[in-house]
A = this chain, B = another copy of it.
Amino acid sequence: MTDILPRHPDLGTEASPALLPAGLRDLLPPDAESEALGVEALMSVFASHGYERVKPPLLEFEDSLLSGSGAAVAEQTFRLMDPDTHRMMGLRPDMTPQVARIAATRLVNSPRPLRLSYTGACVQLHGGSLSSDRQVSQAGIELIGLDSPEADAEMVAVGAEALAVLGVPRVSFDLTLPPLAPALIEEAGLPLADRAPLLRALDRKDAADVTRYGGRLAQILTDLLLSAGPAARALDVLRAASLSPAARALTDRLEATVAAIEARAPGLRLTVDPIEFRGWRYHTGICVTVYSAGRHEELGRGGRYLSGGNEPACGLTLRTEALLRAAPARAARPRLLLPWQADADVARRLRAEGFATVASLSPVADDAGEARRLGCTHLLRDGAAALL
């Protein structure tokens, strides 16, 4: 199951502005099949760990789609009026809130922890800063009803196994603690006028401005900023830092989660960026971003949040188009021309052997020429596959 996805370097930049709106694109052969096979390989790994698949609809009433964890993505949501009820519906920008809704309603009586998986297309009003894509396909898992380092670790371990099956090279999981910086700032009682420039400075990772606006947090925030990197080193810095009890509880949990991940997925490349907080929306605890080393594009992200009824939950959502770009190329199915009125049993046998058989639908003078014209690699000749 390795080598599912082809490398296709221009996939992200190819566009036909005259034909399609910005950020919406056609996947053509062979990319569309590669993406689909890659998604099914991911979903199969998720299923093998007991994650059961759900398929919510593309559209929902906006009050259910955008309630709870969905509120964070409201401004990225296309709205439509339901002509039957005249209520507003939203085109989903993210599937996690839908899965949380299912867990809190139709599966509310299913035993916990509830393990669910999902895949499908989402649409956002605008492209992001890293990619112009407005339609993004997701494949993910959610673990609902448990708040523990072991639950966080299962997300990372199952995600890492899925990426290994696709053959994505040098995967790294970057752990962050989005509530930490806001908690420190809140507790320190910094002047309100300094908070916005300080958050911007942290966002830009600008140590000089962190010092300027950080007040009595200047030293600790600078230490945390500089601690970002391999997990062991970052945890050393956190351990040495002088933190309030609330902040210490957050970093203790991070340390326990790192230990649980190392037990469940030994050797996985783990980094920690304790002060990073931007881009996290409905998350309430440890978060994770997935990269393939040397590539800027995020392959996915996840973290801890509250599902319906404030039930603890964590999840990991992979971006399937990004995986398609990061994974190695896959050998194409050999393509074989069947001459006009070729033997049906022979053709069936060749398909079972893995050939795509392309039937000639009328006699042609030169079967080999026809096979080349149609992009075939093989021709049926004397009852057997002949390489062209």
Contact = CB atoms under 8 A, between A and B. Distances in A.
Interface in A250-288: 264
A362 B33 contact: no
Interface residues of A, number: 80
Contact of A24 (B29, B60, B116, B118): B60
Contacts of A362: 148, 150
Interface string A102-145: 10011100010101101111010110000000010000000000
A118 to B, nearest CB: 8
This protein's copies in its complex: 2
Interface in A22-78: 22, 24-33, 35-36, 40, 43, 47-50, 52-61, 64, 78
A375 interface: yes
A12 to B, nearest CB: 15
B105 A356 contact: no
Contacts of A26: 54-57, 102, 106
Given A57-B24, A60-B21, A126 B84 contact: yes
A270 to B, nearest CB: 18
A19 B121 contact: no
Nearest to A47: B356
A84 B22 contact: yes
A236 to B, nearest CB: 27
B84 A21 contact: yes
Contacts of A52: 29-30, 32-33
Contact of A111 (B22, B333, B374): B374
A191 B82 CA distance: 42
B83 A135 contact: no
Interface stretch (A85-93, A168-176, A180-188, A218-226): A85-93
Nearest to A137: B55
Nearest to A34: B53
Contacts of A344: 264
A220 to B, nearest CB: 33
Interface string A188-212: 0000000000000000000000000
Given A53-B29, A54-B27, A60-B21, A126 B83 contact: yes
A55 B26 CA distance: 6
Contacts of A310: none
9 A-B pairs with least C-beta separation: A50-B358, A29-B52, A27-B55, A24-B57, A32-B55, A150-B361, A33-B53, A32-B53, A48-B351
